Structure 1
Amino acid sequence: MALRERKKLRTREAISTAAIELFVEHGFDQVSITQVAEAADVSRRTLFAYFPTKEDLVVHRFADHEDEPARVVRARPADQSPLVALHTHFIERLRAHDPFTGLTDLPQVLDLYRLLRGTPALMARMLQFNETSERELASALHETAGTPELTARLAAAQIASVHWTLAMSNFDRCASGTSAPKALPTAVKAANQGFALLSSGLAPLWPTTEGSP
């Protein structure tokens, strides 16, 4: 990566970090863009060049995961169904305590989660994030599994909803004080239940001889 790009990434991270620290301490609605710019030592113009909206200062932290389900579907072995691939991946990430699954007790991640949960504007922005993830997943199902477009959209909506519910439940559990290792068995059981419910309706779309993880 070129020096210019590395500097831009560092600036972007510095702005976001300053913003989140202020939001966690004082509340999202109580902190102005001017205060964020001052804390990050940049101008308002520079801040908006990196983050078009105030909500983007927070939600961009999830950007790497936006197309994760779609990437899992596209990268799966040829003989593996999309649903089994997604189930296997989710269980693997649970065991790694990946914030993608909500099963994490890292203080900075839990602070970010509490900020999201307590801020309607951020939760609304997360719904847009989920819609994009859902569209990407639908495209992957259509293009790699021969699933008709409408069917792929309906399947993606169900999968995305189950993932969101599982992740939020895990975050709630960890935010209440349960450590990630202690919460793992319950989280795995819930994930298996969620994907079993999905399988009862979606498995006929993608016949496979491979079982669940």
Structure 2
Amino acid sequence: MTEELGLRARKKQQTAARIWRVAVDLCSERGFDHVSVAEIAEAADVSKMTVFNYFGTKEGVIVGPMEEHAGDPARAVRERQPGESAVAAMRRQFLEQITGRDPSIGLSGDPRTLKVRQLINETPTLAHRMVIFHMRSVQLLTDALAEETGDPLLARVAATQLIGARNALIMENHQRTLDGDAPGDIAKDCAESAERAFGLVEKGLQGYPGNT
């Protein structure tokens, strides 16, 4: 039974990945607004309903894989080591993601990841979807900090600063990728920039939210 469930999960992942690849290629070639869900489904050899079941909306097909990482900062804080500050935990997680060349922070050699960034820049509906994604990430981190400190206001202030630093680093990675910089150079510089960015935030949030 476990093996069967594992096989089903892998097949679902493969189907979702195929739909995403097809959608990114079609939308990059013709423009997001000029490609229908029906066309994506046909090219991916699935039904239109399958596309909606996996991604919900056409926008979700393109940015859904990115949105799966909205809770990464909150998870870093919730699972941090005893005595570790929120800033230190997020910095450590981000540096680990750099080492792993994590696509979610803009460090991927996959050309389609670059195409997604270009589509977001060119398509207002996708850009708006990413604003909502960032707001969700801030809210999740705010909730994690507020549960621990009992101070929702300062939790939101801290979350906004932390997510802001993180997003600035990711945007720099994406821009340098668009500019054609070598992935290795981007990763190296990003690690150095992460130390400085989170260090700057840490000066204002030093020790927050205290030892656990």
Q: Does 2:198 align with 1:199?
A: no
Of 22, 26, 30, 1:26 maps to 30
What is the distance in 2 between the residues matched to 1:77 and 1:21? 42
Per-residue CA deviations over 1:147-181 (Å, capped at 9, x if unaligned) read 51121112111211221111011111122111121
- Distance of 1:148 and 1:188 partners within structure 2: 31
* Deviations 1:120-160, CA, capped at 9 Å, x for gaps: 2111101111111111111221234x251121112111211
Q: What is the match of residue 109 of structure 2?
A: 105
CA offset digits 1:85-144 (Å, max 9, x no partner): 111221222233222322333323222222222222111101111111111111221234
Q: How far 1:71 moved relative to its partner?
A: 0.9
What are the within-5 Å matches in structure 2 for residues 51-62 of structure 1?
Answer: 51-62=55-66
| Aligned residue type for 2:110 | L
For residue 204 of structure 1, report the CA deviation from its aligned partner: 4.9
User: Residues 187 and 4 (structure 1 numbering): CA distance in 2 closer, same or farther, change over 3 Å?
Assistant: closer
Whether the aligned pair in 1 keeps the contact of 2:177 and 2:183 (CA below 8 Å) is yes
- TM-score, normalised with respect to structure 1: 0.87
Provide the alpha-carbon RMSD of the alignment.
Answer: 2.0
Q: CA distance change for structure 1 residues 181 and 116 in 2, over 3 Å: closer, same or farther?
A: same
Aligned length in residues: 207
The CA deviation at 1:5 is 4.5
TM-score (norm 2): 0.87
Structure 1, unaligned runs of 5 or more: 209-213
Q: Distance in 2 between matches of 1:4 and 1:100?
A: 25
1:156 is matched with: 159
In 2: Cα distance, 1:63 partner to 1:31 partner: 21
Identity %: 36
